[in-house]
Amino acid sequence: MKVMKRGLFASLAVIALLAVVVGIVYAFTIGNVDGVWGNIDGVTATAGLSTGLDVIGGYDETTGYPTRTDQTLVRNTGICAGDPDGDTTFGQWTSVASANWGGLGSHTPGTCTSLTNGLFFSEYVYDERTGFFQSDHIGIEIYNGTGAAVDLSNYSVLLFTGVRTYQTVALNSFSLAAGGVYVLVSSSAASQTNQEDQTFTSSDDYRAVVLVPNGTATEGARCNRWASGNGNSPSVMSGWLTSVQNLITTDENQVRYGRDAFNPTAWNSLSCQVTNFADQSGFGFDGSNGPLIPVANVPFFLGKFTHYNHQVFSTDDDGSGGSSDPFTTVPLTVTVPVKCNDGSTPSPAAFTFTPIFSLDETSNGGTCIYGDPGDTPCPDKVTVAMPTSAGSFTCPDGTYTVVINGFTTAGLNPGEDCDVSYNSASVSSEFITQEDHDNHACLWASITAPTADISPIKTCQVVAGWPASFTILTTNDGPGAAINPTLTDTLPIGVTYSSYTSTLTTAGGTVNQGVCAYNAATRLFSCSLLTPLPEEGAGSAYWKVVINVTGTALVTNTATVSSITTDPFPGNNSSTTTCGPTAVTLTAFTASEVEGNVVLDWETASEYNTLGFNLYKAASADGEKVKVNDSLLPSNVIPGSLKGAAYTYTVGAASTGETYYWLEEVDISGGTTLYGPAALIIN
């Protein structure tokens, strides 16, 4: 498919402002961003709708079907391929205002030099009959310009009497030689031609005739169609009832699929030919227009994404139980012309990467999976993901990668459009879209450094002496963003999984982000963050996963994190904690003000292999914790003993406001268990 220049703008003022905030260290220059959709579900429709199609006449949305009277149409010399979109002016035909049956069976293409363009109509005779009980007489000639023999049983002819009403004539099993012709004659006109290869029973008043391949077995989804253009010279693959000049008025590239669910007539396997492009569902991408000046690790507006969400059938028959052939995934190859921060041209000069877009197309009725209560019909979900092996470009100072941050639907400030500013609090790789709407979102991307050092800190929370939850806090020491971060944790025997929470904290705040799953058979708990994890220094970013459990024993548990970005220190990608009823039984933990100082008191009923304690504080219950003590506070109990002890620690001068404190127990193996918080409010 042709890749076109893109026309959406981006706010250079906002990009420049972001650059000032973080410091222009690694600034790049980006030209016009281009994007083109690939094959749906990884399958090419080469033997489907876009090959071997031809149309005589067609439907004109302004004037209606062409007038049909007694006439003969002969394909002009030099026409060597079919016209899949049809032409109500019959510009490729020579017309005679009478029914001439003598020419059927004798067509030659004339000046064609390469006969590899498929089957096409070469002659058409229409003899209108007005007598009572008389059917119109019809003759149709098909020419084989493929350069090889063709089995005609793979094709059919559609005879249209209305916009979407037609009669199907399945061609007989016949091997048509290269350069040969095949003549169809209505049974009412039998014996009027010199060559009759097949007859059919006809109705009256045909307005258009279409040659189609049978079925679309090689399609990745039903009725694939692609289009790209800027409104001046759009190109469309397949489909003859299409007027795209008024559909694509930007530099957008589109992929469409599906059959119009509101077709008033019965469907059959060839119904793709009578579904308008505008009635289909699909995706559109309109890349931003350069020059852009993004800074490394700071998101920039990549382009406008649209889900054209219309009600369509996605199965092979009328939607009542045929084999399913839905749209599942489609790649978008994005080309980003880039200059290095020193003005030099990187290798490659036009960086290309291919995120994968997935569609969960739900049933339009019943209980909706996505959206809000009362949504009718049910919304769908679009997900974007980077490929497992991201590409890169190389500048004199290193190798960089362009990654997708995700979708946004609004800017950072109230009333701002999503392309004006980056809203880190709402960015997501998931986009919920309403049926019967053109759903728009902004795609944001980042140029990130080639490595990212991610590491987890795992703690265990104990309630009434038993393990109640594990918290895994993952941070990224950079210098680049961690792409496709994942977390795995095999839960030990002695705890039962119940639920989880997954949140991402950045400079824009804390949002629910990430998808986790638990396999009861293997006890494997796994998570994927739905957007890159930025460097911790850029707004104290961290990914927090809490695994809620019910514990019945002393357990040791390890969590491991990874990403597809190269990690320079893989040795810190795991964290282990041990906790349970015999680790430490805490009977009290309080924070109080004593003579102007903050004093923390705690008491244990028992300790087992406890090495010592750390204390932490934060301004809120979910805020960033800061350690209070300079060094580990040793246990007052001999390791291995089940005795307890009482402890007091003076933090320092008290200050007004609300502060939260936590107690961390450290065992002799290095495992930790976190208790608290204890709140202290001073007016």
Query: In this structure, what is the dihedral angle of CA atoms 503, 509, 511, 517, given to the nearest 10 degrees?
Result: -20
Average model confidence (pLDDT) across the chain: 80
Q: How far apart are CA 428 and CA 308, in angstroms?
A: 19
pLDDT the model gives residue 562: 93
- Predicted confidence (pLDDT) at residue 383 exceeds the cutoff of 60: yes
pLDDT the model gives residue 241: 40
pLDDT tens digits, one per residue of 134-160: 778 899 999 998 888 999 998 888 887
Burial class of 560 by CB neighbour count within 10 A (0 to 12, 13 to 18, 19+): middle
Overall average pLDDT of the 464-468 stretch = 78
Q: How far apart are CA 180 and CA 189, in angstroms?
A: 22
- Predicted confidence (pLDDT) at residue 380 exceeds the cutoff of 90: yes
The pair of structure tokens assigned to 400 is 């960089």
Q: How far apart are CA 640 and CA 631, in angstroms?
A: 22
- Predicted confidence (pLDDT) at residue 662 exceeds the cutoff of 90: yes
pLDDT tens digits, one per residue of 6-62: 222 233 323 322 333 333 345 788 889 988 888 888 765 443 333 446 888 865 545
Q: How far apart are CA 489 and CA 459, in angstroms?
A: 13
pLDDT the model gives residue 390: 61
pLDDT the model gives residue 467: 87
* β-strands 181-186, 198-200 pairing: parallel
Q: Beta partners for 253?
A: 228, 285
Burial class of 85 by CB neighbour count within 10 A (0 to 12, 13 to 18, 19+): middle
- Predicted confidence (pLDDT) at residue 418 exceeds the cutoff of 80: yes
Q: Which homologous superfamily is 584-682 in? A: Immunoglobulins (2.60.40.10)
Note the CATH architecture for domain 452-579: Sandwich (2.60)
pLDDT the model gives residue 65: 61
pLDDT the model gives residue 285: 94
The pair of structure tokens assigned to 104 is 């059927």
Q: How far apart are CA 281 and CA 308, in angstroms?
A: 5
Phi, psi of 273 (to 5 degrees): -70, -15
The ranges assigned to domains in the chain are 12-44+223-448, 54-213, 452-579, 584-682
pLDDT the model gives residue 327: 82
Q: 532: closest CA among 371, 355, 292?
A: 355
Q: What percent of the chain has pLDDT over 90?
A: 31
Overall average pLDDT of the 366-377 stretch = 84
pLDDT the model gives residue 25: 46
Q: 286: closest CA among 29, 13, 4, 28?
A: 4
Q: Which residue has the tokens 């300079």?
A: 630
Contact 450, 409 (CB under 8 A): no
List C-alpha distances in Å: 159 to 58, 133, 347, 421, 489.
11, 20, 55, 53, 62
pLDDT tens digits, one per residue of 474-517: 999 888 888 889 999 999 999 999 999 999 988 778 888 899 99
Q: 303: closest CA among 193, 399, 407?
A: 407
pLDDT the model gives residue 419: 93
pLDDT tens digits, one per residue of 50-74: 344 688 886 554 555 666 666 899 9
The distance from CA 469 to its chain's CA centroid, rounded to whole angstroms, is 33
Tell me the HSE value of 572 on the side-chain side, using a 13 A CA sphere.
14
Query: For residues 18 and 217, which has the higher predicted lDDT (pLDDT)?
Result: 217
The continuous run of DSSP H or E covering 13 comes out as helix 12-22
Q: How far apart are CA 252 and CA 534, in angstroms?
A: 30
pLDDT the model gives residue 44: 55
Q: 563: closest CA among 354, 353, 358, 403?
A: 403
pLDDT the model gives residue 433: 95
The secondary structure of 125-143 as a DSSP string is EEE---STT-PPEEEEEEE
pLDDT the model gives residue 213: 75
pLDDT the model gives residue 262: 64
Length of the chain: 683
Q: What percent of the chain has pLDDT over 70?
A: 79
Name the pTM for this structure. Answer: 0.59
Q: Which residue has the tokens 């994890």?
A: 533
pLDDT the model gives residue 553: 83
pLDDT tens digits, one per residue of 575-598: 988 877 656 777 889 999 999 999
Q: Do domains 452-579 and 584-682 have the same CATH topology?
A: yes
List C-alpha distances in Å: 257 to 377, 390, 571.
19, 28, 47
Tell me the HSE value of 336 on the side-chain side, using a 13 A CA sphere.
33
The pair of structure tokens assigned to 285 is 């991408």
Phi, psi of 251 (to 5 degrees): -85, 25
